[in-house]
Amino acid sequence: MSYSFESRVRFSEIDQHENMTLHSMVNYFQDCATFHSEEVGFGFHRNQAAGQAWIIAAMQIRVDRWPRFNELIRVSTWATRFRGMIGLRSNSIETADGELLVAANAQWVYMDMKKQVPIRVPAEQTEAYGIEPERAFPEETIGGRKIQVPAEGGTAHDPFVILEQHLDINGHVNNGQFVLMSMKYFPELPGTRHLRLEFSRQAFPGDVICPFVYTLPDGMMVTLCGEDGKPYFIAEARK
């Protein structure tokens, strides 16, 4: 079963061009998935009581047109596949008239939060969500999951420290916060049509983030790494 909700693009969700920001877009997709979980009876309170949680691992986004200020939109999500500890979702943003503005695929991991390890998705949850594999957006039009970071050529920027304000209900940095952090290094996004986001590992208060920016032939990439050089988050934007 799919889940949708309607909204209006708010002033607080737009950039200087009156387009929805990437940060707001990702928050819409996260919120829609969370509402879907609540709708089928497996919201975060129930998972939290069991010491478990859904954690997003990656997202691939195709923007046909950036949603605009004050535009009425419909945000939707549906499960397309469950495999072991992985849940695959597709997402969309449409106008009130049904014009497809944004299409996205996302990979979520079901976690034992006490042991901090992925675990198999309970059968009761896969049954509650159902699957619509035929509605997954084709990878060739939306991009694959794995992002290849260039071996060299990145420009280092000043490190910064994770604060309490960056955390969510699971006690780690919220995915939307990673996106917001990376947007500092993206000078412009209106011409961007393809985005890939990879949430490589969790970050906690006191962790030091070391940003690197890479120029690509048709776009750019930002990596938010730890002091060990391993990424917490990777964002790729292409035209």
| pLDDT value of residue 167 | 82
Alpha helix stretches (DSSP H) within 16-122: 22-39, 44-49
| pLDDT value of residue 165 | 85
pTM score of the predicted model: 0.94
| pLDDT value of residue 190 | 66
Domains of the chain (ranges; CATH) run 1-142 (3.10.129.10), 146-239 (3.10.129.10)
| Residues pairing with 106 in the sheet | 59, 89
Return averaged pLDDT per consecutive 10 residues of the chain, 239 residues in all. Answer: 96 94 95 96 92 95 97 98 97 97 98 93 95 96 92 92 85 88 80 92 93 93 96 94
Amino acid residing at 39: E
| Residues pairing with 61 in the sheet | 104, 195
